[in-house]
Structure 1
Amino acid sequence: MTQAHATHPIDHDDAHGSLKGYMVGTILSLVLTLASFGVVIFHLVSPGVGLAAIVVLCIAQLVVQLVYFLHIGASRSQRANTGIFVCTALLIAVIVGLSLWVMHNANVNMMPTQMSVDRAMAHD
């Protein structure tokens, strides 16, 4: 038998996280979550600024989780993860966008509930 499966030409060590990376990601996620919680519970800023702060903290949380837990990055060993993520995000955006478009058109083309059948036929 050959040892074909014993060696692999691609090194995947960079694509997998380390304990230090997971700890940094966990701590950053907790800090961002507590910051969002603090903005809402303690009313630290006005409602308009609070909404903007929560959106910024949400985007930061998304980036932290993508980098530290899903290993999305620009390095050579992470290109497959990044490509799959981009394709999935595009597919979800298309499905959601088209679903909203269909629901909007169905709403526009439906008969209003206050209109009777006779009145609707006279309206045409």
Structure 2
Amino acid sequence: MDKQNGSPAIRPGTAGDIPAVLAMFDSAVAWLARHGRTGQWGGQALHRRSAPHRAGDPWAAAEALARGVGLLRVDCYAGDDGRLVAYYESCGFTRVAPFRVKDWPGMLLQRRL
């Protein structure tokens, strides 16, 4: 948090942030697994895996604009019922191209700012 105004502060991540980031992902994996949605990240906690994972952030628009960036791109899981793709579309992203990584269906989306 920003000490002056109490709002969230954006800063570069450090190696010291890894445990907190993994804990957030592990919480998301547990929630998805409880709701029968294991197709995206499986049912195993991320901190027990060796492969890296990426996540898009539709709230990055303000930071992108402040840095002079006019286009955001994200990729996400496009399997199951497609709700994650629909979520990003509800945030103003449009579909660019589907892709597959082995059996994992993905979608590339973009949002012009």
**TM-score, L = length of structure 1:** 0.27
Considering only CA atoms, is the larger Rg found in Structure 1 or Structure 2? 1
Structure (1 or 2) with the greater strand fraction: 2
Higher RCO structure, 1 or 2 (CA under 8 Å, sep 6+): 1
Give the TM-score of the pair, scaled to structure 2: 0.29
